Structure 1
Amino acid sequence: MRKRNGWLLATLMATSAAAAQQSPAIDLNQLGFEPADVKLAVVRGAGTKTLPWLLLDTDGKAVGKGETLVYGPDASSGAVVQRIDFSGFRRAGKGYRLSVAGVTSDPFAIAPSLYRPLVRDAANFFYQQRAGTPIDAKFAGSAWARPAGHAHEVAGCFSGVDERGTVWPGCAYKLDVTGGWYDAGDHGKYVVNGGIALWTLLNAYARRPKAFPDGSLRIPESGNGVSDLLDEARWEMEFLLRMQIPDGVRTQVPSGPLGAPKPGRPAWEASFPPFAEIDAGGMAHQKVADRNWTALPMPPQNDREERLLYPPTTGATLNLAATAAQCARLWREVDDAFAARCLTAARRAWAAAQRNPQVYATSSFTGSGGYGDNSLSDEFYWAAAELYATTGEAAFRKAVTGSPHFGEAVRAPGWSFTAPLGTITLATVKTGLSDAEVQKLRATLIAAADGMLEQRRQNGYAIPYKAQGYPWGSNGDLMNQAMLLGVASDLTGDSKYRGGIVSALDYLLGRNPMGTSYVSGHGVRSLNNPHHRFWAHVLDAKLPGPPPGVLSGGPNDTALADPVAMQLKGKCVAQTCWADDIHAYALNEVAINWNAPFFWVAAWMED
C-alpha cells in the first residue's frame, strides 16, 4: 500500500509539475532578501513577450514596478521563463508580493540578517542526527526528542557471505564505536561521507572562529567554554577516531596487487579481486551499519538489526587522516590533549594508507550504502594537505606538490572527489609553500568560481549550476559550488561572488520550477516528507516530521532508482524530477554531506 501511495503522489507531482508549465507562476525565495542583495524572481508559463510587473507592500500598494526580462525556453526546468529583477528596491519590510500576468507571488520579507535563524536550524540538524545519546527536547524541540539510538555500540566485523556469494573472514576484535552522526535517513554511520561533512563544519569554524561562541547553538555542550561549532564537530570526530583499527591487527581484504604501479581493481567490479592479507593497524573501517535494511519507519532506538563493522578501506583511512589532522590544528590551545590525540591518529592513518593504497570499498553488502570510489589520488592529496598545514613537515609538502591535484583546475568537492578541500586548506592556511605556489592555488579556486558564475547565464533560473543533468543530491552539489563562490569572495574581496551565492540559496528556498522550499520549516511550501526513518509522520502519526533546517537531496534525473522516481521517468526534466515523498530516497533523502555545505553557505551569508 505504501508503494501505491508513493506512486500516486509521484504521478500527482508529475501532473502538477506539467500543469504548472502551462499557467503563469512566480517562483522566488520564500524567505525574502537582504536589502543590498540581488533580488530576482522567475515567471514561468507566461509566454515570451515582455510583461509589466508591480511590487506590492503589505497593504497592496505598489512600491515598485518594471518590465520582465525574457529568457525563453529553459531546458533545465522545461518551462518558458522570464525574470523580474527588483534589486534596486532596498526598503526593509514584511509581506511584500510581486504581481505579474494576473498572478501574485507568495509574501516575502526584505530584511537584514535574514538568514540567521536558517543558520542555527541548519546546524541543529547535526545534533538531531546524533547517535549514542538521547536527543533532548531542550535542544531539539519537544516533537523531536527521543531516546538514544545505539546507545552503547560495540560492534564486531562482518563475516560470512555477502550479496554475491563472497565469503568474508571477519576479525577477532570488536570496537566501541558509540556516537557520531547518522549519515542520512538510515542508521548507517560512515567514515567516507562523515569525513567531508566534518571537514566542512570545521572549515566554517576556521574561517570565523568567533562566529559560533559557546552558547550560540542548541546543543548539550553549551556552557563548557568552547565554541559550539567545535563541540558539534567533535561529536563526529570522536566517532571517526573510534573507527581506527588497533596496531598489530592483520586481516584479509580484497585488494589489487600491492605495490603495483597502477591501482588495483575496485571491489565492486564484476571480477572480484583476490583477498590479500594486510597489516591493517591504523586503517579505518568503512562504516558501521545494520546487517539488513530496516523498514520505514524505524526510530533509531527501536533498531534491532545486528550492527557490524564493515571492512577497512584506503578511502576511509584517508578521510580519517585528513580530518584528524585538521582537528589537531584547530583544537590547539582549545584542548591540547585532544589535538595531540587527533594528530597521532592522523599519522597512523597516513602510514596505514601508504602501506595499503589500494583497498577499495565494496557495494556487495545489504543494509547500508557502499560509498565506493575507484580513484583515491584525491584523498591522498587532501590528507597530505591537511597534515602539511598542521605539521609543516617536508614529507607532507613533497606529497602535496608531487600530486597531480596540486594546481589542477578545481571543481566542486564531493565525498568521492575531495581534492578541492586540500586546495582550499593550502590556499587559506599559512604553510611553507612559496607565495607563487599559494597564488597558483588561489587562482585555480577563483577560476572555478568564475566558471560557476558563468553557469548562471546558461539556465533560466539563473543559478550557478550546470544547465542539464541533475544527479543524486543535486542540492548538495549546488551548495558545494556556492561554498567555492564564498571561498573566492574571501580570497578576492569581490562582491560579484555574493550574487551567485544568493542565487543558489534563492533556488533552494523557492526560486525553482517546483515552487517549493527544499529546506524544512523555511518557506510557505517547504520540505515535509523526507526519506527518513524517524521524521516519518506520514507513516506514523506518533512520529514527527522533519525539524526546521533540513535540506532535501533535490531533483535527480540521472538515477531514478526508487519506486517513486521510477514513476517520474519520461515525465520530468532535470529540475522537476523531484517529489516530496518519504519513499523517494533517490530524490528526497537527507544527508550530513548535503546539510554541511548548506550550513557553510548560510553561515557565510550571515557574515
Structure 2
Amino acid sequence: MKRIVPLLGLLIGVQATAATAIHVNQLGFAPQADKLAVVTDSTATSFEVLRADNGQSVYRGELGAAAAWKASAETVKLADFSTLTAPGEYRIKVDGAAPSDRFVIGADTYRKLNAAALKAYYMNRAGIALETRYAGVYARPAGHMDDKVLVHASAASKDRPEGSTITSAKGWYDAGDYNEYVVNSGISTYTLLAAFEHFPAYYAKQNLNLPESGNGLPDILNEALWNLDWMLTMQDPHDGGVYHKLTNKTFDAMVMPDQAMKAPRYVVQKSTAAALDFAATMAAASRVFKAYEQQRPGLSARMLAAAEAAWTWAAAHPTATFRNPPDVRTGEYGDQHLDDEFAWAAAELYISTRNDDYYRAMKAEQTPATVPNWGDVNGLAWMSLAHHRARLTPLADRKLIASRIDGLAAALASTWKSSPYRVAMKDKDFVWGSNAVVLNQSMMLLQGYRLNGKVEYLDAAQSGLDYVLGRNATTYSFVTGFGARPPLHPHHRPSQADKIDAPVPGFLVGGPQAGQQDQADCPPYPAKLPATSYLDNVCSYASNEVAINWNAPLVYVSGALDELSKQKVDLAVLLRQEQLLQFDSFDNETALALGLKAVELARAAGQKVAVNVTRDGLVQFYHGMQGMTADHDNWIRRKSNLVNRTGHSSFYIHNEVKNAGGDIDALPGLDARDFAAQGGSFPLVVKGKGRIGTITVTGLPGSDDHALVVATLKAYLKIADL
C-alpha cells in the first residue's frame, strides 16, 4: 500500500493548489511579527481575519494592489494583518475563496518546530541504534558503525596506504543517502554552533530527549558534537589533511541503515575545500566548547590545534580540488573555487586565536558578503566577524564588517520589498535546495537586524520562514510533520523504508526548482515554473530530498525569530504609553515620589541606575546609585534633551529612527553631543496642561531603562495594564 501513496499525494497536492487562493504560514506568528498572507487571482479588495473556533471577525483590512509574480505565473495581492497581536488561532477570509489554513498568534510559536528540526539530526545519526525512548516509533537498529573504513586509492599515503583501515565512527548521514561529507558537514555544524553562540539562553532551555540530555551541555551542542567527533576522525594525524568524504562506491538502495552495511565504506581523497571547511568549523567549535572544559576536558584545545593543522595543510595544497574517482559515484560536493573557503577559515581562526596573520590572510577587502551555501561560504566569515566585532584586535576593520553585513541585508530587503510574494528570492534562486536558499537569505537578514536593528530586515527574514511554512505557490509547508500540508514522501531512505506512514518529522525538503533532474524516474510534475516545480514523491531527489545543510538554517531562523520577535517594538504601543501615563496634577512631592519609586524598583530588581526628575527646567530629584559616574549624568542630559525637543519618549524616537532605517547616532539636525536616541527618558504630561518635564533613567540597556521608567509611572499612577 505504501508504494502507491506517492501518486495519491501528488493528486491531492494538485487539487489543493488549484482550490486554495489564500497562502499563509501554516504554523503562525509571534504577536509582534510582521504578518502577511498572499491571495492569488482574486477580484476581492478586502479581507478579514476570523477566530478559528467560532468564526468571529476580529480584523478587517484592504488587500494590496494586484501584481504578477513571474516565478509562479500568478497574479497576487498581499493581506497585511501585522497589527493583529492578540494570541489565538485564526483563519483568513476573502470573498470567493475558501478560508485559509489555521494559524496561531502566540509566544514561542516556533519552539516545537525548532526542536524537531534539531531532533532530525539525531534521527539521521550514523553509528548508533535509535532507541524507542528517544526516537519513538522511528526507533531503528544501528547502521554504519564505521570501525573499519578502507582508505581509498585516492586517499592513500605512506602512513595510510590503500586498503588500510581507520575508525571513523559517528557523524550524520548527509541527506537522503547514507554517506558523510566533510564539506557539507562544515556549513551544517557551523550554523548550529552559530545559533547557540547568538542565542544561548534560547537553547539552554531546550531538552531534545537525546541519549546525552542532562550531561551539562545544551542539547544543541550535544547534537553538534556527534558530528564534530566524526569530523575529527576525518583528519589524517600525520599531515593535517582532511578526507573529503566517507562513502560507499555507489548509493545504497532504499533500505534501513542496518540493511545497507554490506558494501565497504571508504575515506576518499584529501581536498583543500574539506581541510578549510574543517578548519573553520573546528575553530568556531573551539570557542563554543571552551566554556565546557569540565564536560569534555581538552576538547577545545584539541579542536583549535586540529583547525590550525588543517589550515597549514590547505596552505601547502591550495589547489587540491575534488573530483570523484572513476570508481566512486556518490555525491561529489566538488568545489573548484576556493577563495571563499580560505576567507572563512581565516576569519574563524582569527576570531579564535586573535592572531592578526589570519585576518590578513582573509583578504577582507576582496571578500564579498554573499548568501551562504556549501559552495560559497563567504557570508559565514562576515557573520562570525560581525557577532564578535567587539572583541576583535585593532587590525580588524569594523566599518568594513558592518558595511558588508548591512549591504547584503539591504540588497535582500530591497528584493523582498519589491516582490509580489514578498520574498527575497529572485528567479535565479530557484535552484536545487531552493528552500535552503530562502532560509539562508533570512539568516543573513537577521545578521543585519542584529547589527543595526533595522526592522525591515527582521520583517524580510520572517517572510523567508513564512515561505517555507506555506506562503508559497505550491501551498505546501515544506517541513515534514508541520503545517496543514507537509511533505509525506521525502526522498529520505529511513522515511521510505521504515514501514511507517508518516515521514520522520522536522526535515526541510529541497523545494521547487525547474530543473526536474529526476523526471526520468518520476511521474510528471504538476508544473514546470520555478516556484511550482515541486513533487511530493520519494522519487524526487531534485525537489523532495532532505539534507543536513538545508535543515541548519531552519534551526537558526526559527530560533532567532522566536527570540528577536519579542524585542520588536510597536510604535503604537509606545504612543499608547505616552497617552495613558499622564497626571491630573504634578508638584514637587510628586517628583520626589516618582524618583524614590524608580530607585525602589531598581533595587528590587538588582539594577544600578541614575534617576532624574525635572519639572519646568528645574531638577526636582536626582539619585545616582553606587557605580554611577559623570558619564551617566551626560546620558541623562542628552536623553532628556531629546524628549524636550520631540515631545516623545527617547525610546519612541529610538525605534522610529530604526524602523525607518536611519542612524540613531546621527539624527538629522541634532548634534549627538547634546541629543541621545536611547531609551530611558519619558515626557511628564499634566492632562489639560501639556508637557511639564521629564523623568529619566540611565545605567541599563536602553530598552531596560525605558521599561523601568514605565514601571515607575504605572506604579505611581496605579495603572495595572496598558
TM range (shorter): 0.7 to 0.9
Verify the 8 A CA contact 1:293 1:366 in the aligned structure 2: no
Distance 1:90 1:31, change over 3 A: same
Q: Which moved more, 1:63-72 or 1:522-531?
A: 63-72
Distance 1:600 1:500 in 2: 15
How far did residue 70 of structure 1 move?
2.7
Task: Report SS of the residue matched to 2:204.
Answer: coil
1:90 matched residue in structure 2: 85
Code of the aligned partner of 2:315 = Q
Which of these residues, 38, 43, 53, is aligned with residue 39 of structure 2?
43
Per-residue CA deviation, residues 500-521 of structure 1 (Å, 9 max, x unaligned), is 1211111111111111100111
In the alignment, does 2:52 pair up with 1:52? no
Report the equivalent of 2:555: 599
* CA shift digits 1:294-337 (9 cap, x unpaired): 11244345432221111111110111111111122221131250
Distance, in Å, in 1 between the alignment partners of 2:538 and 2:348 is: 38
Is 1:418 aligned with 2:377?
yes
TM-score by length of structure 2 reads: 0.72
Q: Which residue of 1 aligns with 2:517?
A: 560
* Residues 1:34 and 1:432: Cα distance change in structure 2 (over 3 Å): closer
Aligned to 1:154: 148
Pick one of 139, 156, 180 that aligns with 1:145: 139
Task: Kindly indicate whether the alpha-carbon contact (under 8 Å) linking 2:253 and 2:260 is maintained by their aligned counterparts in 1.
Answer: no
Could you state the TM-score of these two structures normalised by the residue count of structure 1? 0.86
Q: Take 1:4 and 1:375, find their aligned partners in 2: how far apart are those partners?
A: 43
Q: Structure 1's 186 and 223: CA in aligned 2 closer, same or farther, altered over 3 A? A: same
Q: How far apart are the structure 1 equivalents of 2:195 and 2:4?
A: 43
Give, in whole Å, the separation in 2 of the partners of 1:220 and 1:476. 28
Structure 1 residue 190: deviation in Å?
0.5
Question: How many Å separate the matches in 1 of 2:425 and 2:90?
Answer: 30
* Partner SS for 2:109: coil
Question: 2-side partners of 1:227 and 1:14: how far apart?
Answer: 39
For residues 332 and 68 of structure 2, the distance between their equivalents in structure 1, rounded to whole angstroms, comes to 39
Alignment of 1:430-579 (within 5 A): 430-434=390-394, 437-536=397-496, 542-543=499-500, 545-558=502-515, 560-563=517-520, 567-568=524-525, 571-579=527-535
Distance 1:427 1:100 in 2: 47
Segment drifting more, 127-136 vs 88-97: 88-97
Q: How does 1:170-569 map to 2 (within 5 A)?
A: 171=162, 173-213=164-204, 216-247=207-238, 281-335=239-293, 336-363=297-324, 364-401=326-363, 404-405=366-367, 408=368, 410-429=369-388, 430-434=390-394, 437-536=397-496, 542-543=499-500, 545-558=502-515, 560-563=517-520, 567-568=524-525
**CA 365–4 in structure 1, closer or farther in 2 if over 3 Å, else same:** farther
Q: Deviations over 1:268-307 (max 9, x none)?
A: xxxxxxxxxxxxx211111001122211244345432221
In 2, Cα distance between equivalents of 1:96 and 1:5: 29
Alignment-mate amino acid for residue 512 of structure 1: N
**CA 1:122–1:186 in 2, change beyond 3 Å: closer, same or farther?**
same
Residue from 528, 541, 544 that aligns with 1:585: 541
Amino acid at match of 1:114: T
Q: Look up the equivalent residue of 1:600 and give its one-letter code.
A: Y
More helix by share: 2
- Cα deviations across residues 95-116 of structure 1 (Å, max 9, x unaligned)? 4343332421122212121111
SS in structure 1 of the partner of residue 495 of structure 2? coil
Aligned mates of 2:90, 2:205 — CA distance in 1: 34
Distance in 2, matches of 1:557 and 1:244, equals 38
Does structure 1 retain, via aligned residues, the 8 Å contact 2:10–2:537? no
Q: Percent identity?
A: 33
- CA RMSD, Structure 1 to Structure 2 (Å): 2.6
Give CA-to-partner distance per residue, 1:177-203, whole Å, 9 cap, x none. 110111001001000100000110111
Q: SS where residue 134 of structure 2 aligns?
A: helix
Tell me the amino acid that sits aligned with residue 536 of structure 2.
D
Contact 2:356 2:393 in 1 (8 A): no
Report the Cα offset of residue 123 of structure 1: 0.9
Write out per-residue CA displacement over residues 428-448 of structure 1, whole angstroms, 9 at most, x where no aligned residue. Answer: 214544387112111111111
Q: CA deviation at 1:50?
A: 4.5
User: Which deviates further from its counterpart, 430-439 or 517-526?
Assistant: 430-439
> Which blocks of at least 5 consecutive residues in structure 1 are unaligned?
161-168, 248-280
Taking a change above 3 Å as real, the CA distance of residues 189 and 403 of structure 1, as seen in their structure-2 partners, is: farther
For the Cα contact (< 8 Å) 2:2–2:501, is it kept in 1?
A: no
Q: Greater Rg, structure 1 or structure 2? A: 2
The one of 3, 26, 29 equivalent to 2:25 is 29
Letter of the structure 1 residue corresponding to residue 320 of structure 2 = V
| 1:15–1:510 CA distance, 2 compared to 1 (3 A) | closer
Change (3 A) 1:527 1:360: same
**Structure 2, unpaired ranges of 5+:** 155-159, 564-722
Corresponding letter in the other structure for 1:415: W
Aligned AA (2:506): G
Q: Call closer, same or farther: CA 1:157–1:324 in 2, change over 3 Å.
A: same
Kindly provide the CA deviation profile for residues 80-131 of structure 1, in whole angstroms up to 9, marking residues without a partner as x: 2112112222221124343332421122212121111111111111111111
Q: Is the 8 A contact 2:47 2:92 kept in 1?
A: no
Taking the aligned partners of 1:468 and 1:379, their CA distance within structure 2 comes to 23
Question: What is the aligned residue count?
Answer: 553
Equivalents in 1 of 2:23, 2:278: separation in Å?
Answer: 42
Shift of 1:420: 1.2
Deviates more, 1:388-397 or 1:445-454: 388-397
193-202 or 151-160: which moved more? Answer: 151-160
Aligned equivalent of 1:270: none
Structure 1 residue 495 displacement after superposition: 2.3
Amino acid in structure 1 at the alignment position of 2:362: V
Give the structure 1 partner of residue 580 of structure 2.
Answer: none
CA contact (8 A) 1:75 1:468 kept: no
* Native 8 Å contact 1:24 1:101 kept in 2: no
Conserved? CA contact 1:469–1:558, under 8 Å? no
For each residue in 1:498-556, what CA deviation from the matched residue of structure 2 results, as whole angstroms up to 9, or x when unmatched? 211211111111111111100111111111111011101xxx57245323211011111
Distance 1:149 1:73, change over 3 A: same
Distance 2:99 2:291 in 1: 55
